[in-house]
Structure 1
């Protein structure tokens, strides 16, 4: 079994076969993953998925995990990867630079739909109950994850703006009357920042928090949700130049997954086809909040 896992930035595996089959799928299929948790954990988590694709498609599979979300976008633009797992915001940012075709998204195990939840959390023992009164108006400190994260940046920013924050569409760290805004780089790091008291509140993906609780990384009930919003599920996308044959083959490979252990690892009940129009709200909100292009801090 040949499944290669390397960090993006070290380049493609030496001698990777770029032969393309009749269906348009490369003989060496290179898959990029956004690091919504630490890169090493993310890479290890998706090894069973890489093995599934290899067995079903009869191709070599390489997994690439970048140091940050922008690294996956750069790899797509540079044609160093063929398929990528992106958050909705990262997809919207990436499609401005390279032609992409959504393949599938997961039906979320927690919501039972193609949407999941973005949440703003505080320590359970804090007095903060109301986002507007206790966080925004009171000028507290706040942590986002990666600046290009949908549920760790875009939707928490949307909730803050709805609660009265005047977040700048040009400088993402300016969000008065919040006294301080930081970017932790990931949902797990945001949870720890709130838990440790380094910030008063933070935005993250709720199902990742639940997994951290199951893993014992965060004590169950140590963080409390004070606001949440539904978000369209992460799209798996491919470079459009792979063609419609590859689109059909790859979509079928996802929707054929029935192994409950593999689906559990990938946080999915099952996979369903995705369309570009599914992400229209994210495009609109990202444009309004200045996040459609990677922003300066």
Structure 2
């Protein structure tokens, strides 16, 4: 066989082009996830129309990958297994800390500028945070902003240490599970995201004659959509623009915003979460 430098060069160029095309095709998938603050089926239901909308706006495939727990959502983004994640304020702070600042929050709901948590109970004897002393309480996930960090922070501010002043604390893993634990009598009280609480009431999945809110926290910044800092600037802009373009006056926009429990999306920035980070460090949930 005669050696042909030209043929070899052509082969190398063809192989290189095939690799580049394959790599380009691989990059045409946006891998998305969310903290599992609700049941997996509910998360999938909420994301489906949003994912279809983003596919049209970005002209690329969008895949939703559920994760087992909050920590997995952080690790997935930091370790390049995910491209974009719906974080709570605390999980964003954890991802920022773990990646040494290599994550960027793009957008949040208007509602996330002044988010709140609620404390609920079935007991007639619990009417204030002080009444929780000696009682049992369920938080959501340990890494939840609205289901653990901020409720714990407000308890500490009221001079109540959940670890020593309460009879027992539990972690349900998700907001809807916290409501179920309280309604089922497994704990005396629970703390959860006000948005999920209101949704469960609207869906008539909670008996408000038995379970009631006895304390609502002051507002704080919470959820956002976060990407890695190394994502191409053009794609970051396209994603941001797609969220900002969602409009409740259109049928598609209204359907998506309603599922996301959002009036609209607005830009956000890491600086919005400095108080969450401070609360996490003060509560001993993030290393100082």
2:238 to 231, 242, 249: 249
Q: Does 1:72 align with 2:73?
A: yes
- Written as runs of structure 1 = structure 2, the 5 A alignment for 1:153-232 is 153-167=148-162, 175-229=163-217, 230-232=219-221
Q: 1:222 to 1:117 in 2, by over 3 A?
A: farther
Say whether the 8 Å CA contact 2:57–2:238 is kept in structure 1. no
3-state SS of 1:257 partner? coil
Say whether the 8 Å CA contact 1:39–1:67 is kept in structure 2. no
3-state SS of 1:105 partner? strand
Structure 1 length normalisation: TM-score?
0.83
Higher helix share: 2
Q: Which residue of 2 aligns with 1:31?
A: 32
1:105 to 105, 108, 111: 108
Q: Which residue of 2 aligns with 1:135?
A: 132
- Offset at residue 292 of structure 1 (A): 2.2
User: Cα deviation per residue 1:10-48 (whole Å; 9 max; x = unaligned)?
Assistant: xxxxxxx75279xxxx41001011111011221122100
Higher strand share: 1
Q: Which residue of 2 aligns with 1:234?
A: 223
Say whether the 8 Å CA contact 1:87–1:234 is kept in structure 2. yes
User: Cα deviation per residue 1:66-94 (whole Å; 9 max; x = unaligned)?
Assistant: 11111111111221110110000000011
Q: Which residue of 1 aligns with 2:119?
A: 120
Say whether the 8 Å CA contact 1:19–1:28 is kept in structure 2. no
Aligned length: 258
1:281 to 275, 278, 282: 275
Q: Runs ≥4 in structure 1, deviation > 6 angstroms?
A: none
Say whether the 8 Å CA contact 1:43–1:64 is kept in structure 2. no
Please report the RMSD computed on the Cα atoms of aligned residues, expressed in angstroms: 1.7
3-state SS of 1:84 partner? strand
Q: 1:221 to 1:58 in 2, by over 3 A?
A: farther
Q: 1:126 to 1:275 in 2, by over 3 A?
A: same
Say whether the 8 Å CA contact 1:39–1:65 is kept in structure 2. yes
Q: Gapped runs of 5+ residues in structure 2?
A: 1-21, 248-252
Say whether the 8 Å CA contact 1:18–1:28 is kept in structure 2. no
**2: CA distance between counterparts of 1:104 and 1:195?**
34
Say whether the 8 Å CA contact 2:145–2:222 is kept in structure 1. no
User: Cα deviation per residue 1:140-176 (whole Å; 9 max; x = unaligned)?
Assistant: 0010000000000001101221222235xxxxxxx11
3-state SS of 2:115 partner? strand
Say whether the 8 Å CA contact 2:127–2:215 is kept in structure 1. no
Q: Which residue of 2 aligns with 1:42?
A: 43
**2: CA distance between counterparts of 1:115 and 1:18?**
42
Bigger radius of gyration among the two: 2
**2: CA distance between counterparts of 1:57 and 1:239?**
17
Structure 2 length normalisation: TM-score?
0.85
